Structure 1
Amino acid sequence: MKRTFMVGLAASLSAMLATTALAEIRIAHVYGKTGALEAYAAQSHQGLMLGLEYATGGTMEINGEPIVVIEKDTQVKPDLGKAMLAEAFGDDDAHIAVGPVSSGVALAMLPVAEEYERILIVEPAVADSITGENWNRFIFRTGRNSSQDAIANAVALGGEGVTVATLAQDYAFGRDGVAAFKEALEATGATLAHEEYVPTDTTDFTAAAERIFQAMADIEGEKKLFIIWAGGGNPMGKLNAMDPSRFGIEIASGGNILAALTAYKELPGMEGATYYYYEIPKNPVNDWLVEQHLDRFGTPPDFFTAGGMAAGIAVVEAIRKAGGAEDTEALIAAMEGMEWETPKGTMRFRKDDHQAMQTMYHFRTEIQDGKDYGVPVLVREIGMDEMDIPIRN
């Protein structure tokens, strides 16, 4: 009897130890590791890992449970992104997913989160429709949306007597961006005179530029061409080479990754609004990020590194607040209205649509010694409470 009891006790202890050993927090990063936006994706993943490290004090554990990050490559293809998220939630039993880079891929992934009743933190895909008409309650977004981009840029560029034309890519990111910018621009007294959309892989902008120039040629007053673009193609440099100033047109754009800012060097004095540039925010999280990134990689953190880090910190804070990663409903309750510190300062998940409210930055481009790109120098911070971001869901 005693032997049977001891054997049973040993078996129970072994089972307990095995369960404890297997207890882990599984986070899937579903992103375009390869494909047209892989530069953005690499930054996003690096930032995510740094955010998890920062928020856990280097332990990569939450409440004693180790974090396991599962990587899934969407190749920037919507159907593959949808399949990869289903695989992450189904086969890999991920508690939370983060990603993707592309808005088109994100829109394909949203129903999967609802089907599996697991949280997808969208970072850094931008289209308004992600937290708008296509949203469901399992979607949170740490990245900025098109309206935040648009309102910040409208504040920076708009005004009475200003006429604007837009050039954007012909997919969700571009069209949502222009729609939000047009809406925001009206409040400034400016006029949107022409919209131009081109394929995402366009490299020859001659025809589009001619249509824009002809639409703007006879308009009096201050004229600007606002470019919304993701990826390669260098529309800014190529359009600037066509001398839009002969029509009195100034080129304008929002912020971008450091590699893309080389084109900004041709446009000193250009104004716009940006999501992040490593020298702008002044807070302890950004100080840590800049120091660690320079020390480990020899370069400053970039646009999407900051976003990835914000997502990583949000994951840790949410799981701590919810008391674990297993209960999705507890996570949703913890995240709605949650505030946390990021490289950009405080962010807050809005309860209505789970969009992260956040600061944006009005900048002016400067040429600085030792930098081979146009530097976005802060004109002023545009605080989260200054922007009336529409709820579109």
Structure 2
Amino acid sequence: MKTRKKFLLLTGLIILAMLLVACGGQTTEEPTATPVPAEQPAEEPEAEEPAAEEPAEEPMEEPTEEPTEEPTAEPTAEPEEEALGEPLKIGVMTDLSGALLLFGQEMLNGLELGFEYATNGTMVAGGRPIELIVRDDSSDVEAGTAAARELIESEGVEILVGNTSSAVALQVQQIADENGVLYFPAPAASPDITGSNWNPHTFRVCRNAAQDGLTMAAWSLENVGQNYVILAEDYAFGQATAAGFQAAFGALGANFLTEQPIFAASDTTDFTPFIQQILDLQPDGVILVWASNTSGVVLYEQLTSQGVIGNIPIITGFSSNDLVALLDPGNIGAIGLIVYHYTLPDTEINDWLVEHHNEKYGENPDLFSECGFATAQAIVAALEATGGDTSPEAMTPVLEGMSFDGPKGTYTIRAEDHQALAPLYIVRLVSVDDPDQRYFELVEEVSGEASAPPCTAPNCN
């Protein structure tokens, strides 16, 4: 008898408004008030000459000493301490209008708060004021590459961050490499970004999809069964992630019922042929790799109405809060993986993120808020170490092997492929309508080391 357990989770892939802080002091009040005593002695000398000598000394000396010392000492000291270097422009590309809009906005909000947290609200790092220049890439390769070139060539940005779509990120990282600019993809998750397509100018603080596969493979083989089918979105992220899942599950002894994953286009509206193929094969579980929000909702509706969900476990990742709320209540009890949910990490930094995200945006941080936040932390830490020098020669030695505390705990950037390792979570769905979006119960926190993907960059040993 095959053990069947409900497994559900949407795979997820999300930048910013700048904060300005001005400081200054008032120094004109004391000098205008202190000279007043000089008028009083002017009347006394006319009435009585002896009395005129003493007042003439005190009012004339003391008022002139105090006003000249205090106003010149304080105003000139502060500008020297606050003297800043040349403004640092950071280019941010994210989806603000396309199929991955939800994820793009999550990352952008988190990035903004990450810079605020890491700079203590000053938006200054390494002695340089940070200016974030945001562009909408709409998850379109042509728009994304044009934005990257414009940010570098016209705006003069010294660092690039972002891209929600892996297809866009894979092209942007080449542009950054050609121009000698460091690039931090976020939240694009294709393993190829820090794998076969790796270059020395790319650093990823967010997780990659191979980490998802490794984390879920061990759990699934123990709790679901041995026979699987992969249904994946037919573009760079879906292809690379499906390959990662296939490798991770296969390494642990899983059997795949099709030689290649079943791929469907991102704009598919009728999934019936793909669903029928799954029903005919009757696998122990379906590994689902899908990121596009709109077609993803349609896919889940059809998987439910055509009898897959409820009969065959779906193995994938839980997604953003808005998408979890769309799930059928019949999925309660399902177990799967999630990259981040605001209720899971027990850290002071996550508490800060939750509090300030609610204050600024009126809602809880979401799936990729943590990704943007931690990316900003890493950039600021590197800038502080280099004194604001953004050259790859200065930044790379600092970033390689960097370890820091972020929302999920400890993050460590591997020197070999520039991929960060951080915890992931296996959770049980307990609600789809909780008013505070407390949808999950933690089953297991998997450490960054335990979920570390294989190093496949060209310079890996």
- Given that 2:110 and 2:369 are in contact with CA atoms closer than 8 Å, whether structure 1 keeps it comes out as yes
Equivalent residue in structure 2 for 1:225, among 286, 296, 299: 286
Query: For the residues of structure 2 that align with 1:249 and 1:196, how far apart are their CA atoms?
Result: 16
Q: What do the CA deviations read for 1:94-113 (whole angstroms, capped 9, x no partner)?
A: 11110110000001111111
Query: What amino acid is the match of 2:162?
Result: G
Query: What amino acid is the match of 1:198?
Result: A
- Given that 1:150 and 1:184 are in contact with CA atoms closer than 8 Å, whether structure 2 keeps it comes out as yes
Greater strand content: 1
Query: For the residues of structure 2 that align with 1:31 and 1:310, how far apart are their CA atoms?
Result: 16
Query: For the residues of structure 2 that align with 1:341 and 1:316, how far apart are their CA atoms?
Result: 13
Query: For the residues of structure 2 that align with 1:224 and 1:114, how far apart are their CA atoms?
Result: 40
- Given that 1:29 and 1:97 are in contact with CA atoms closer than 8 Å, whether structure 2 keeps it comes out as yes
Give the 3 Å change call, closer, same or farther, for CA 373–282 of structure 1 in structure 2.
Answer: closer
Query: What amino acid is the match of 2:110?
Result: G
Bigger relative CO (Cα 8 Å, ≥ 6 apart): 2
Find the counterpart in structure 2 of residue 116 from structure 1. Answer: 179
Equivalent residue in structure 1 for 2:166, among 88, 100, 103: 103
Query: For the residues of structure 2 that align with 1:293 and 1:245, how far apart are their CA atoms?
Result: 34
Q: What do the CA deviations read for 1:191-240 (whole angstroms, capped 9, x no partner)?
A: 22242110012232111100111122xx6xxx111211112221223202
Query: For the residues of structure 2 that align with 1:276 and 1:245, how far apart are their CA atoms?
Result: 24
Find the counterpart in structure 1 of residue 272 from structure 2. Answer: 206
Worse-superposed segment, 360-369 or 42-51: 360-369
TM-score by length of 1: 0.89
Give the 3 Å change call, closer, same or farther, for CA 206–130 of structure 1 in structure 2.
Answer: same
Q: Which structure 2 segments of 5+ residues have no match? A: 1-79
Find the counterpart in structure 1 of residue 9 from structure 2. Answer: none
Q: Which structure 1 segments of 5+ residues have no match? A: 1-16
Larger radius of gyration: 2
Equivalent residue in structure 2 for 1:286, among 341, 344, 350: 350
Query: For the residues of structure 1 that align with 2:225 and 2:253, how far apart are their CA atoms?
Result: 7
- Given that 2:91 and 2:161 are in contact with CA atoms closer than 8 Å, whether structure 1 keeps it comes out as yes
Q: What do the CA deviations read for 1:232-254 (whole angstroms, capped 9, x no partner)?
A: 221223202212268x4222321
* Count of residues paired in the alignment: 369
- Given that 1:261 and 1:374 are in contact with CA atoms closer than 8 Å, whether structure 2 keeps it comes out as no
TM-score by length of 2: 0.76
Alignment of 1:158-169 (within 5 A): 158-159=221-222, 161-169=225-233
Find the counterpart in structure 2 of residue 145 from structure 1. Answer: 208
SS at match of 1:340: strand
What root-mean-square deviation, in Å, do the aligned CA atoms of Structure 1 and Structure 2 show?
A: 2.0
SS at match of 2:89: strand
Alignment of 1:184-195 (within 5 A): 184-194=248-258, 195=261
Query: For the residues of structure 2 that align with 1:369 and 1:263, how far apart are their CA atoms?
Result: 9
Find the counterpart in structure 2 of residue 253 from structure 1. Answer: 316
SS at match of 1:249: coil
Find the counterpart in structure 2 of residue 65 from structure 1. Answer: 128
Query: For the residues of structure 1 that align with 2:325 and 2:228, how far apart are their CA atoms?
Result: 24
Find the counterpart in structure 1 of residue 43 from structure 2. Answer: none
Worse-superposed segment, 30-39 or 187-196: 187-196
Alignment of 1:1-393 (within 5 A): 23-159=86-222, 161-194=225-258, 195-216=261-282, 223-231=284-292, 232-233=294-295, 234=297, 235-244=299-308, 248-264=311-327, 265-367=329-431, 370-371=434-435, 375-393=439-457
1:342 Cα deviation after fit: 1.6
Query: What amino acid is the match of 1:291?
Result: E
Q: Report % sequence identity.
A: 33
1:325 Cα deviation after fit: 3.2
Worse-superposed segment, 347-356 or 25-34: 25-34
SS at match of 1:101: coil
- Given that 1:267 and 1:374 are in contact with CA atoms closer than 8 Å, whether structure 2 keeps it comes out as no
Give the 3 Å change call, closer, same or farther, for CA 314–22 of structure 1 in structure 2.
Answer: closer
Q: What do the CA deviations read for 1:114-138 (whole angstroms, capped 9, x no partner)?
A: 1110100011001111111111100
- Given that 1:196 and 1:212 are in contact with CA atoms closer than 8 Å, whether structure 2 keeps it comes out as no
Q: What do the CA deviations read for 1:45-103 (whole angstroms, capped 9, x no partner)?
A: 11110000000011111133211001122121112211211221222121111011000
Query: For the residues of structure 2 that align with 1:81 and 1:38, how far apart are their CA atoms?
Result: 14
Query: For the residues of structure 2 that align with 1:289 and 1:114, how far apart are their CA atoms?
Result: 32
Find the counterpart in structure 2 of residue 11 from structure 1. Answer: none
SS at match of 1:189: coil
Query: For the residues of structure 2 that align with 1:376 and 1:191, how far apart are their CA atoms?
Result: 30
Query: For the residues of structure 2 that align with 1:374 and 1:305, how far apart are their CA atoms?
Result: 16
Query: What amino acid is the match of 2:112?
Result: M
